[in-house]
């Protein structure tokens, strides 16, 4: 199996499995770079087939492409994409609130499921970005509040959403989405912007 790292051939490519090769590449990477993408024989390796691909014997693969990125650029791109997703979800939640208010419950709930999944993805992206940048969420502040406290605020509205769903109270859910979501969304935007700025600041510091 031939191994290429960021399109450059890897001299030592004697590995038993694809996973062994990836681990070796990550170990040899500079501290500020992470493996972010894999391609086996031209096929993108997504989350759904990741486990199978990593366990694949190298004798079954002709070429493995490993792509890396700096921690800073990875977080910057993730927070930018999260902001776009949040904007789209904000608009969709308003539509869901309108549908629920009109009594079109099933249609509204079908759309709301996607909103919940997006919120979960954003929350996960934030958590991972803090870990990747090795930030102290208790010391970093947003508008004089610790980042860890600001991150916790959106969870409060999610608790209300959970309670409304558990009680099948769609009037309450519509009210939460219509009247309380705006403030929480603003807090999420602030968190995403803060992490993007930290990524840029650390990138500049690393290049000096």
Residues 118 and 101 in one domain: yes
pLDDT, tens digit (0-9, with 9 covering 90-100), for 44-65: 998 778 999 999 999 999 999 9
With a cut of 90, say whether residue 204 has pLDDT above it: no
Alpha carbon 68 to its chain's center: 17
Domain span at 59: 2-70
Among 51, 70, 89, identify where a domain stops: 70
pLDDT, tens digit (0-9, with 9 covering 90-100), for 143-155: 888 888 888 877 7
Residues 31 and 122 in one domain: no
User: Could you tell me the pTM of the whole model?
Assistant: 0.80
Residues 85 and 147 in one domain: yes
With a cut of 90, say whether residue 193 has pLDDT above it: yes
Question: Do residues 133 and 71 lie in contact, with contact meaning Cβ atoms separated by under 8 Å?
Answer: yes
Mean of pLDDT values over 130-141:
90
pLDDT band at 81 (very low <50, low <70, confident <90, very high): very high
Can you tell me which residue has the tokens 């609130």?
97
Residues 98 and 118 in one domain: yes
Residues 44 and 147 in one domain: no
- Shortest CA distance to 169 belongs to which of 113, 100, 107? 100
Residues 79 and 64 in one domain: no
Across the chain, what does the average pLDDT equal?
Answer: 89
Residues 44 and 99 in one domain: no
Mean of pLDDT values over 118-129:
91
pLDDT band at 72 (very low <50, low <70, confident <90, very high): very high
Residues 128 and 188 in one domain: yes
């Amino acid at each position: 199996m031939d191994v290429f790292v960021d399109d450059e051939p890897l001299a030592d490519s004697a590995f038993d499995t694809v996973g062994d090769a990836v681990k070796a590449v990550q170990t040899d990477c500079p501290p500020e770079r992470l493996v972010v993408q894999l391609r086996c024989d031209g096929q993108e390796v997504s989350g759904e087939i990741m486990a199978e691909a990593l366990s694949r014997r190298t004798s079954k693969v002709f070429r493995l492409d490993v792509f890396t990125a700096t921690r800073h650029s990875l977080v910057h791109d993730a927070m930018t994409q999260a902001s776009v997703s949040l904007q789209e979800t904000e608009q969709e939640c308003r539509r869901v609130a309108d549908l629920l208010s009109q009594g079109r419950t099933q249609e509204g709930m079908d759309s709301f499921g996607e909103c919940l999944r997006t919120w979960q993805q954003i929350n996960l992206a934030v958590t991972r970005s803090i870990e990747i940048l090795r930030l102290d969420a208790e010391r970093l502040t947003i508008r004089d509040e610790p980042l860890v406290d600001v991150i916790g605020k959106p969870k409060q509205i999610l608790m209300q959403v959970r309670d409304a769903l558990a009680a099948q109270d769609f009037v309450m859910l519509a009210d939460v989405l219509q009247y309380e979501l705006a403030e929480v969304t603003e807090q999420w935007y602030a968190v995403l912007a803060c992490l993007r700025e930290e990524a840029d600041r650390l990138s500049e510091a690393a290049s000096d």
